[in-house]
C-alpha cells in the first residue's frame, strides 16, 4: 500500500520572542499561515525497517531527519511491527524559515497512521507533534493560527486570504539556533506590539485584518538585516515593487510580499530572478482547503497531491 501526500509550507505573519524559558527554549508568540507550496511524501508500507530517502543533498538521513524520528516515535507509541519506505520530494527550500521539515514530520505521522492502520486521536497527534519540534503541531492544524509557548501550542485564528504572495530566497541558510542566540545577547526591538494589537482586534471581532492593515513583525528581522545586507535590500526591494505586506518568514532567509494585483507580483518575480534568488508565486491555504487536500490524498492509494 502506497500514498503520495502533499506537505505544505508556512510563513509567519508575525513572530515575537518573549524570552528564555526554564526548559532552555524561548517563549514565542507567532501567527502562522499555511501556503500553497508543497513537498511531496511518497510513503509505502513495508515489512522491513523504516527507510527515508531524499535526493536533496542538504536533507539529512537517519535520526537527524524529522520524518525518520516521526516514524519511529509513532511505531513505538502504537506497537507497530510494520515498516515504511518514505521518499521526500523537496520543493520547499531547506533551512529557509518555511517549516518544510516540520511539515514533513506532521504529514508523515498522519500518513503512517493510515498505512499502518492505527487510530491516532487529535490529542495523540499533538503530543507526538510536540515531541518532534515546535512547528510540527501547527501542521496538524493548518490555515491561520496563533502559536504560543515554544510555538507548539496552537489555536485557530480568523483566516487570512492572500491570492498573490511572492516568496524570495537568496540561497543560503540561516541557523535558527544562531538567530536565537543573537536575540538573547542583544534584546528584542521592533513593531511587535503593534502587530499584537492588530491580531487581538481580529480575534475579538472574528474577522481577519484587511491585508492593508496587517503589520508584519519579526523579532529576527533586525538581526538578519545586519548580518546579511542582501536580505535587507531584498525586503526593501519587495516593498518598492508594490507589496502591501512584506515580511521575513521564521528566522529567514525567505522573505515574502503580498500584492493586490498581478502586474506588480510579476515584476517582483522578474526582479528577484534577475538577482539570482529562488522565487515562487503562491497563495495562502485556508484550514478547510488544507484538510480537504490532505484528506483526499490520505484516503486514496496512489493519490496525487
List the catalytic residues: 10, 135
If residue 185 lies in a helix (H) or strand (E), which one and from where to where?
Answer: helix 176-186
Cβ atoms within 10 Å of 46's Cβ, excluding its own? 15
Backbone φ and ψ of 76, nearest 5°: -65, -45
Burial of residue 287 (CB within 10 Å: 0-12, 13-18, 19+) is middle
Beta bridge partners of 135: none
Burial of residue 217 (CB within 10 Å: 0-12, 13-18, 19+) is buried
Rounded Cα–Cα distance for residues 94 and 100 (Å): 7
Closest CA to 118 of 82, 85, 88: 82
Phi-psi region of 145 (alpha: psi -120 to 50; beta: other; left: phi over 0): beta
Rounded Cα–Cα distance for residues 295 and 34 (Å): 16
Amino acid at each position: 500500500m502506497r500514498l503520495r501526500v502533499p506537505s505544505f509550507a508556512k510563513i509567519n505573519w508575525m513572530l515575537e520572542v518573549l524570552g528564555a524559558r526554564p526548559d532552555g527554549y524561548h517563549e514565542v508568540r507567532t501567527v502562522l499561515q499555511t501556503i500553497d507550496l508543497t513537498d511531496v511524501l511518497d510513503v509505502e508500507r513495508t515489512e522491513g525497517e523504516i527507510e527515508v530517502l531524499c535526493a536533496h543533498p542538504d536533507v539529512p538521513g537517519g535520526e537527524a531527519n524529522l520524518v525518520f524520528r516521526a516514524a519511529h516515535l509513532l511505531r513505538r507509541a502504537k506497537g507497530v511491527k510494520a515498516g515504511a519506505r518514505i521518499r521526500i520530494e523537496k520543493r520547499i527550500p531547506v533551512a529557509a524559515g518555511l517549516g518544510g521539515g516540520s511539515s514533513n514530520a506532521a504529514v508523515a505521522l498522519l500518513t503512517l497512521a493510515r498505512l499502518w492502520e492505527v487510530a491516532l486521536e487529535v490529542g495523540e497527534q499533538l503530543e507526538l507533534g510536540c515531541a518532534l519540534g515546535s512547528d510540527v503541531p501547527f501542521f496538524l492544524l493548518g490555515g491561520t493560527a496563533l502559536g504560543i509557548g515554544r510555538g507548539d501550542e496552537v489555536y485557530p485564528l480568523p483566516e487570512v486570504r492572500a491570492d498573490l504572495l511572492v516568496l524570495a530566497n537568496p540561497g543560503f541558510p540561516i541557523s535558527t539556533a544562531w538567530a536565537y542566540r543573537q536575540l538573547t545577547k542583544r534584546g528584542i526591538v521592533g513593531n511587535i506590539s503593534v502587530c499584537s494589537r492588530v491580531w487581538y482586534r481580529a480575534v475579538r471581532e472574528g474577522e481577519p485584518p484587511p491585508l492593508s492593515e496587517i503589520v508584519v513583525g519579526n523579532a529576527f528581522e533586525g538581526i538578519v538585516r545586519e548580518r546579511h545586507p542582501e536580505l535587507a535590500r531584498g525586503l526593501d526591494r519587495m516593498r518598492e515593487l508594490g507589496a502591501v505586506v512584506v515580511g521575513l518568514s521564521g528566522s529567514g532567509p525567505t522573505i515574502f510580499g503580498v500584492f493586490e494585483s498581478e502586474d506588480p507580483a510579476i515584476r517582483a518575480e522578474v526582479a528577484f530572478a534577475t538577482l539570482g534568488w529562488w522565487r515562487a508565486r503562491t497563495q495562502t491555504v485556508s484550514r478547510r482547503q488544507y484538510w480537504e487536500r490532505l484528506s483526499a490524498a490520505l484516503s486514496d492509494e496512489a493519490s496525487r497531491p
